Each structure stands twice: as C-alpha cells, then as structure tokens.
Amino acid sequence: MHKDWQKTTQDLSALMQDIGKNIPDVTKGFSQMAKSANQDGALSHKHKELMALAIGISIRCDGCIAFHAKAVAELGATREELMEMLGVCIYMGGGPSFTYAAQALEAFDSFNK
C-alpha cells in the first residue's frame, strides 16, 4: 500500500478539530456549506462525492482524496463507477492526474473492504 488512507483521515480529522476549537464560526460555516452542497437534488450525494474526489485528484490533494474516497465507498459507489470517474480525471489532467488517480483507487479500495 502506498499510503495508509484511514490514518490520513484520522490524523487530519484531529488536526481539523483543533482548528475548529480555535475558529468555530469558520468551521461551522464550512460544515454547513458541505452539508448543503451534498444534499440529494438533481444529482445524488454519491455523484457529488465522486465529483469532489475528481477535484481532489485534479488539485493533487491527499486529504481530499482520503476523505472523498471514504465518502464514496460509504455511499455505495461501485469500483466501476470509480474507474469511469478516474478515466475522466486522467483524460482531463494527463500524467499528474494518472498518478493521483492511482492513489485515489488505492484509497477507495482501502475503505471499501
């Protein structure tokens, strides 16, 4: 395994909680925005999380990959759905996205056991 994705989410969650204790209004606002953005509508929460994972891959954010890979696994995304999304990321982002797509696949698989 390239990275321990579960540990990544745990470590980052702890660090983010520390920030939340110091600037609670900002973190509450961020949490509310995330909750509102992810509500089922024309797109399902699962599809929105797949989009968020694609953006995490595109901007090369390990934390984003970890959190959103966990979310898509928990929301029941299939490996086939993930692969199609990874294909679009690779198409749009070239080599760097291919590298991070591989990491996103590893992260998804680690949460989808």
CB 82 within 8 A of CB 105: yes
Look up the pTM and report it.
0.91
If pLDDT is split at 50, 70 and 90, which confidence band does 113 have? confident
Question: How do residues 39-48 score in pLDDT, each as one tens digit?
Answer: 999 999 999 9
Assign 3-state DSSP to the chain and report helix, strand, coil percentages, each to 5. 80, 0, 20
Examine the pLDDT at 1 and tell me if it is beyond 90.
no
DSSP string, 34-73: HHHHTS-SSS-HHHHHHHHHHHHHHHT-HHHHHHHHHHHH
Name the one residue in this structure whose structure tokens are 């991070």.
Answer: 100
Residue-level pLDDT at 51: 98
Average pLDDT over residues 82-98: 95
If pLDDT is split at 50, 70 and 90, which confidence band does 7 have? very high
